[in-house]
């Protein structure tokens, strides 16, 4: 669950509600620090919050998870570029009625052709190809997309897929303009959103300015948004506390860091919440030593997950499978089923005894240790748990060292499978099994960074995806999750919780609890400076 604190003081609930009821003010630039340099500005080509946070305000989707509702679900989906939508009787055709009078930032009109072009890009049918397409598996079930007229478009599916509307509502699902080539979208993106791209100076700053022709009357309230890239978490947080920034990068303040921000006279608002992000291990299934299933199983058994939660989250974190645990998550594995999975039982000592036996079978002992490098990204969310992992692997005769990789090179390394084992975090753009299963574990997915491939389990992905009965689908999802865990597909360590902080004059921001990627349109955010 979420927790919000007003650091340094106690405020009556009536004051909080009064603040929320204040009339919105227009004007001002929201200043936010950014944790790392984005690989590019193209949301469709990137797989990182470093891109989706600063550039989501440039775009619109067909539909959107309501920014004001903390838990994303099918019930919280609202119209965006689509005014309405409807299904045919067998759930294989999804038709959208589009808004008229919407303009791209260069002045050209938005039409159904742009929707058709976007999905041609995503499904590989366009003349121009995306440099990378990390979410191609989201749309694998789309047969084709056809514009019936300038303001009506239909998505034709190969089979029923209840999740498709949720996938379309993600911050990762913007509509691109037909007349702009993908290469330009990496550097100077053009959208229909509340803010226009102004500039992107690598490793320094990203600037967005208000779109005066935005189709939604009165929005946005802000004149602009400015992201300053500060790679040192300590420097960034100190700068925020000193008033240089209005808001931290989302979920970038760890639970231990919250104590550092608690100054007696500070009125900074910090909200700690889940974010559908888990710390996990990528193991290269295609190369030694992790092509050996015994070593993969030993690795899973070696993990003391409760120690990770205690050390990194000061108790603020959850242990779960490959889908975010309840109550914040909608599909997570129940605790009784999780405890029955090897490595998730409470007896860590017994688990490690079994792990050492498996390592001995593979030829490793205290006198002949397995030596390897743990690759990790150069941000605290990654390299802090990597240090703890090194200590835990010593218990099963693995001697590991760190290989720290800059964000701009991280996904390139993963794409090439240029690692042995990697300490990774995986954020789910949508709290739905179709997103997690197909994106992270499908044999053909660009996001399947560790080369896992199990055709029998992938067949089950399709069965649960097409199930129209929600409860039957949930049971299937739990069975699949347990199989993936037992197979050591991508061993999860812990589900993370962290804080987003903002100055008390920042209004209208709601931190989403089951996706850290979908709440950054920021068209409803305003500044109540004196």
Q: Is residue 36 part of a domain?
A: no
Q: What is the predicted pLDDT for the residue at 262? A: 58
Q: Look at the chain and count its residues.
A: 530
Beta strand residue intervals within 348-420, DSSP E: 370-377, 398-405
- Spatial separation of the C-alpha atoms in residues 484 and 341, rounded to whole Å: 10
Q: Is residue 426 part of a domain?
A: yes
Q: Is residue 347 part of a domain?
A: yes
Q: Do the Cβ atoms of 211 and 105 come closer than 8 Å?
A: yes
How far the first Cα of the chain sits from its last, in Å, is 32
Mean pLDDT computed over every residue of the chain? 91
- Spatial separation of the C-alpha atoms in residues 289 and 293, rounded to whole Å: 9
Q: Is residue 485 part of a domain?
A: yes
Q: Is residue 7 part of a domain?
A: no
Q: Is residue 172 part of a domain?
A: no
Q: What is the dihedral of CA 58, 63, 67, 72, to 10 degrees?
A: -130
Phi, psi of 256, rounded to the nearest 5 degrees = -60, -35
Stretches where the chain sits below pLDDT 50 are 5-21
pTM of the predicted model, to two decimals?
0.89
- Would you call 283 helix, strand, or coil by DSSP? strand
User: Number of structural domains, the chain?
Assistant: 1
Q: What is the predicted pLDDT for the residue at 11? A: 31
Beta strand residue intervals within 383-522, DSSP E: 398-405, 421-427, 492-502, 506-507
- Give the H/E segment covering residue 83: strand 82-87
Side-chain-side CA neighbours of residue 121 (13 Å) = 30
User: Judging by DSSP bridges, how do beta strands 29-34 and 224-229 pair with one another?
Assistant: parallel
- Spatial separation of the C-alpha atoms in residues 362 and 161, rounded to whole Å: 43
- Spatial separation of the C-alpha atoms in residues 252 and 501, rounded to whole Å: 9
Token duo for residue 441: 């574990």
Q: Is residue 326 part of a domain?
A: yes
Token duo for residue 207: 């600037």
User: Judging by DSSP bridges, how do beta strands 224-229 and 205-210 pair with one another?
Assistant: antiparallel
- Spatial separation of the C-alpha atoms in residues 517 and 292, rounded to whole Å: 35
Per the structure, the complete domain to which residue 357 belongs is given by 274-497
Q: What is the predicted pLDDT for the residue at 438? A: 96
CATH number of the domain at 432, please. 3.10.105.10
- Spatial separation of the C-alpha atoms in residues 297 and 386, rounded to whole Å: 19
Q: Is residue 527 part of a domain?
A: no
């Amino acid at each position: 669950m979420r927790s919000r604190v007003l650091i340094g003081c106690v405020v009556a609930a009536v004051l909080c509600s009064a603040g929320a009821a204040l009339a919105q003010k227009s004007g001002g630039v929201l200043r936010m620090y950014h944790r790392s340099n984005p690989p590019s500005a193209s949301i469709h080509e990137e797989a990182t919050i470093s891109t989706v946070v600063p550039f989501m305000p440039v775009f619109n989707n067909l539909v959107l998870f309501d920014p004001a509702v903390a838990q994303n679900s099918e019930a919280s989906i609202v119209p965006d570029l689509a005014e309405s939508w409807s299904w045919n009787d067998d759930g294989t055709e999804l038709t959208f009625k589009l808004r008229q009078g919407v303009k791209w930032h260069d002045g050209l009109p938005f039409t159904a052709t742009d929707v058709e072009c976007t999905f041609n890009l995503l499904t590989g049918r366009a003349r121009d190809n995306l440099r990378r397409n990390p979410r191609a598996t989201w749309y694998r079930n789309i047969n084709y997309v056809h514009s019936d007229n300038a303001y009506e478009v239909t998505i034709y599916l190969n089979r029923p897929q209840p999740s498709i509307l949720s996938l379309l509502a993600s911050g990762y699902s913007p509509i691109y303009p037909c007349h702009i080539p993908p290469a330009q979208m990496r550097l100077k993106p053009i959208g229909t959103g509340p803010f226009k791209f102004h500039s992107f100076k690598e490793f320094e700053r990203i600037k967005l300015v208000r779109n005066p022709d935005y189709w939604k009357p009165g929005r946005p309230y802000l004149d602009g948004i400015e992201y300053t890239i500060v790679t040192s978490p300590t420097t960034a947080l100190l700068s925020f506390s000193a008033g240089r920034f209005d808001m931290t990068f989302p979920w970038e303040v760890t639970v231990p860091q919250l104590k550092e921000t608690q100054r007696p006279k500070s009125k900074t608002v910090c909200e700690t919440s889940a974010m559908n992000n888990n710390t996990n291990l990528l193991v290269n299934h295609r190369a030694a030593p992790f092509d050996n299933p015994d070593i993969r199983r030993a690795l899973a058994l070696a993990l003391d997950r409760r120690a990770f939660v205690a050390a990194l989250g000061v108790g603020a974190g959850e242990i779960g499978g490959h889908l975010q645990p309840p109550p914040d998550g909608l599909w997570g594995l129940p605790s009784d089923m999780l405890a029955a999975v090897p490595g998730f039982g409470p007896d860590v000592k017994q688990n490690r005894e079994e792990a050492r036996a498996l390592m001995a079978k593979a030829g490793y002992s205290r006198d002949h240790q397995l030596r390897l490098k743990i690759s990790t990204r150069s941000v605290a969310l990654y390299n802090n748990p990597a240090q703890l992992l090194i200590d835990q692997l010593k218990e099963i005769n693995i001697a590991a060292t760190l290989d720290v990789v800059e964000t701009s090179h991280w996904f390139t390394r993963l794409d090439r499978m240029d690692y042995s084992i990697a300490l990774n975090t995986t954020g789910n753009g949508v709290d739905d099994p179709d997103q997690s299963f197909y994106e992270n574990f499908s044999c053909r997915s660009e996001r399947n960074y560790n080369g896992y491939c199990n055709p029998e389990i992938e067949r089950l992905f399709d069965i649960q995806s097409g199930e129209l009965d929600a409860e039957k689908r949930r049971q299937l999802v739990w069975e699949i999750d347990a199989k993936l865990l037992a197979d050591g597909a991508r061993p999860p360590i812990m589900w993370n919780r962290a804080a987003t902080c903002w100055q008390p004059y920042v209004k209208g921001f709601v931190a989403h609890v089951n996706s850290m990627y979908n709440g950054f349109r920021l068209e409803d955010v305003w500044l109540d400076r004196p």
